[in-house]
Amino acid sequence: MLKLKNILKIFNEGTVDEKIALSDVNLELAHGDFVTIIGSNGAGKSTLMNIISGVLLPDEGYVEIDGNKVDHLKEYQRAPMIGRVFQDPMAGTSPTMTIEENLAMAYARDKKRGLRLGVNQKRRQMFREHLESLHLGLENRLTAKVGLLSGGERQALSLLMATFTEPKVLLLDEHTAALDPARAQLITNLTKEIVEQHHLTTLMVTHNMQQALDLGNRLIMMDKGQIILDVSEEEKKDLTIEKLLSEFERLRGEKFASDRAILG
């Protein structure tokens, strides 16, 4: 479903600030794979997300979605195929617009936008049903402005908006990192529910190792722009944080260093 081949990305090439963000990254996800990605700061996780979504173009290599190369497509042209939730709860929604208007924009993702009304009775009913699946009571607040929602509510809405049109690939970029633990847990549970329900091919970056172990059927560890560990579903079942850390030490000959990695 998603394939990355020999991806190379260098920032500020030829200057003193030159940084190899990704070097020779190869990754292939089958339909319905749910892959969690962990790695220390600067490992290239976010760059990887930006390369897939088309915010950045790779210097070498290519990205394939559903068997088609997408390198010539800009971000907005890939967007019909890719759902994305950002770390910042403010990033995924439009604050001055209402809940139903936000959903209408997400609904139009894989359709050609025209002069039809964004919200009509039929769509409103559909939006309401989808919102019910979040169990937050948002279905009763369709005309509330999204700017009035809490961070957790906004992130839940972002998650719904990114997924309910069933994109071919779902990218989750530390989407629980900015929330308090209770809210983060809520969003984590919703993520699991929604991904399973729609069988979405998902790539999730996280700093929370426990989350990376709990979710998904495959785990990838990145360091210094490379994928250094790829754990399959079978091996992942009896993986623990301790094993993961010692595996990192064995591979890299140094301790896993991240000021933000959460062990618990």
Partner 1 sequence: MFQSFIGSLEAGIIFAIMALGVYITFRILNFPDLTVDGSFATGGAVAATMIVAGYSPFVGTLSAFLLGLVVGSITGILHTKGKINPLLSGILSMIALYSINLRIMGRANVPLLGQDTLIDRMESFFSHLFSSNYVLLITMALFVLIIKLIVDWFLDTEIGLAMRATGDNPRMIRSFSTNTDNTIILGLALSNGLVALSGSLWAQYQGFADVSMGIGMIIVGLASVIIGEAVFGDRTVRRATIAVIGGAIIYRLVIAIALRVGLDPSDMKLMTALIVIFALVAPRITASLREKKRKSDRRKSGSASVEG
CB nearer to partner 1: give 105 or 142.
105
Burial of 85 (0-12, 13-18, 19+ CB in 10 A): buried
**Binder of partner 1 out of 19, 80, 192, 217 (CB under 8 A):** 80
- Binding part of the chain for partner 1, among 11-19, 62-70, 107-115, 134-142 by CB under 8 A, reads 107-115
Distance between CA 138 and CA 100 in Å, rounded?
A: 10
- Binding part of the chain for partner 1, among 18-26, 68-76, 133-141, 246-254 by CB under 8 A, reads 68-76
CB nearer to partner 1: give 36 or 53.
53
Can you say whether residue 225 is alpha, beta or left, with left for phi > 0 and alpha for psi between -120 and 50 degrees? left
**Binder of partner 1 out of 119, 126, 144, 178 (CB under 8 A):** 119
Yes or no: say if 161 and 108 are a contact pair by the CB < 8 Å rule: no
Contact map string, positions 188 to 227, toward partner 1, x by CB under 8 A: ----------------------------------------
Distance between CA 172 and CA 213 in Å, rounded?
A: 15
Distance between CA 162 and CA 125 in Å, rounded?
A: 19
- From the CA atom positions of the chain, what is the Rg in Å? 19
Determine, following the binding rule CB under 8 A, whether residue 142 of this chain makes contact with partner 1.
Answer: no
CB nearer to partner 1: give 168 or 218.
168
CB nearer to partner 1: give 187 or 219.
187
Determine, following the binding rule CB under 8 A, whether residue 118 of this chain makes contact with partner 1.
Answer: yes
β-strands 218-223, 34-39 pairing: parallel
